Amino acid sequence: MSPALFVTFEGPEGAGKSTQIRLLLERLQERGLEALAVREPGGTPLGERVRELLLSTPGLAFDPRAEVLLFCAARAQLVATVIRPALAAGRIVLADRYVDSTQAYQGAGRGLDRQALANVLSFATGGLMPDLTFLLDLPTEVGLARKRSGSAEWNRLDQESVAYHRAVRRGFLELAAREPGRWQVLDAQRPADDLAREILDAVLQRLAARSERPGDA
């Protein structure tokens, strides 16, 4: 069995996470590695219903704590029914957002208590954390302009103020600075192919290091 690896992609709106996950998934599969991609919220029937409720229901307002708990309900289902079984089978899991998004969007963005959030997130995930996290970073205004001009949906969180999105970006950068061993911060304004090569190299290096450790193969 190949070593399992849990890789997450984080970043502000318009950073290109979905593109990089697709490219990485294709290149890992070309090498015969078993990998799957998931998104948050979503990835399960329950999660997709929560996604629609949170992001696409017009005119629906949420208390910030209710917003967090809905995200965590979808995440708990995804971890229990998809992510943990895949990792147990020795697969590579690529996630489009995970717990760090909650700390950035609801912690830094909404101003909720970070420790309280950490407790809720740990409960929802059973303490499962990524092995490697890529932060695709770019200026707030650039990211929002990309999102507006692209094909992706313009959702409820996208409609928040520029000040909110700037706070989210700062939140991500602060999280990355606290755990440099887990995070890799990349300039999302670079060409997509250049980013894809760097991301693939980092993942392959992490897989090789895990294969060399007793008990991880």
What confidence tens digit (pLDDT) does each residue in 124-148 have? Answer: 999 999 999 999 999 999 999 998 8
Residue 217: inside a domain: no
Round to whole Å and give the CA distance between 162 and 140: 7
pLDDT of residue 214: 57
Round to whole Å and give the CA distance between 200 and 88: 22
Q: 217 pLDDT band (50/70/90 cuts)? A: very low
Q: Which domain holds residue 190?
A: 5-212
Residues belonging to the chain: 217
Q: What angle do CA 124, 127, 131 make, to 5 degrees?
A: 120
Round to whole Å and give the CA distance between 102 and 99: 5
Total of domains in the chain: 1
Average pLDDT of the chain to the nearest whole number: 93
The answer to whether 147 touches 13, Cβ cutoff 8 Å, is: yes
Secondary-structure percent of the chain, ordered helix, strand, coil, rounded to 5: 55, 10, 30
- Domain harbouring 191, CATH code: 3.40.50.300
